C-alpha cells in the first residue's frame, strides 16, 4: 500500500480508507462538505460506485454520503490503513 501518496478522493477505490488533507473548493459547496464531515483530518472510506461509475458513496462521520466527480476530485487525501476489508 502506498500509504503516503497524495491523491484526490475521486482517484480512490472502493474499500480504501482516506485521510482528508485539504479541500480545493469554495462557497456553498465547501460549506456543505464541511457540514457533512469532509474536514481536513477526518478519515473517510470509499464505499462504492453507483452503477454508472459516478457518483461514489463515501462513509464519513459514520454516515454515507454520495459525491460527484466534480467535487471528489477537488478533495485531496492520503490513503491510510483501515480495518481489513473483505471485498
Partner 1 sequence: MSDFRIALAGNPNTGKSTLFNALTGMNQHTGNWPGKTVIQAKGNYTFNEGNYTLIDLPGTYSLYSNSADEETARDYIIFDRPDVTVVVVDATSLERNLNLVLQVLEMTDQAVLCINLIDEAKKRNIRIYDDRLEKKLGIPVASISARNKAGINLLLKKIEGVAKGEIVTSPYQVKYSEQMEEDIQRLEPYVSQIVKGKYPTRWVTLKLLDGDRSFMDHLYQRVFSEGDVSHV
Partner 2 sequence: MSEIHTSKNSLEQLFQHAGEMNHSREEIVGDIFQASRSISQDCVKYQEATNDQKSEKLDKILTSPIWGYPIMLALLGGVIYLTIAGANIPSSMLASMFSYFETYLTLGFEWIQAPEWLHGLLVLGLYRGVSWVVSVMLPPMLIFFPMFALLENYGYLPRVAFNMDRLFKGAGGHGKQSLTMAMGFGCNAAAIISTRIIESPRERMLAILTNNFVPCNGRWPTLILLSSLFMAAGYTGGLQTFVTASVVIGIVLFGIVITLLVSYGLSKTALKGVPTHYTLELPPYRKPKFWDTLVRATLDKSLYVLKRAIKVAAPAGVATWILANIDIGNVSVLEHIVTFLDPFAHSLGLDGYILMAFILGLPANEIVLPILLMGYLSTGAMTEVNDLDALKSIFLDHGWTWLTALNMMLFSLLHYPCGTTIYTIYKETKSVKWTLMSALIPTIIAIAITFIVAQIVRGLGWV
Binding mask 28-67 for partner 1 (x = CB under 8 A): x--xx--xxx----------------------xxxx----
Residue written as cell 490513503? 79
Secondary structure letter of residue 51 according to DSSP: T
Cα–Cα distance, 68 to 57 (Å, whole number): 9
Cα–Cα distance, 39 to 51 (Å, whole number): 27
81 binds partner 2 (CB under 8 A): no
Q: Which does 43 bind (CB under 5 to 8 A by kind): partner 2, partner 1, none?
A: none
34 binds partner 2 (CB under 8 A): yes
Cα–Cα distance, 76 to 87 (Å, whole number): 24
Q: Considering the complex, what minimum distance in angstroms separates the CB of residue 28 from partner 1?
A: 6
User: Which residues contribute to the site for partner 1 (CB under 8 A)?
Assistant: 28, 31-32, 35-37, 60-63
Amino acid at each position: 500500500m502506498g500509504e503516503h501518496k497524495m491523491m484526490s478522493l475521486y482517484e480512490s477505490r472502493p474499500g480504501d480508507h482516506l485521510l482528508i488533507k485539504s479541500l480545493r473548493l469554495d462557497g456553498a459547496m465547501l460549506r456543505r462538505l464541511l457540514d457533512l464531515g469532509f474536514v481536513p483530518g477526518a478519515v473517510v472510506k470509499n464505499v462504492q460506485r453507483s452503477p454508472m461509475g459516478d457518483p461514489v458513496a463515501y462513509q464519513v462521520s459514520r454516515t454515507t454520503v454520495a459525491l460527484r466527480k466534480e467535487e471528489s476530485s477537488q478533495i485531496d487525501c492520503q490513503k491510510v490503513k483501515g480495518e481489513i476489508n473483505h471485498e
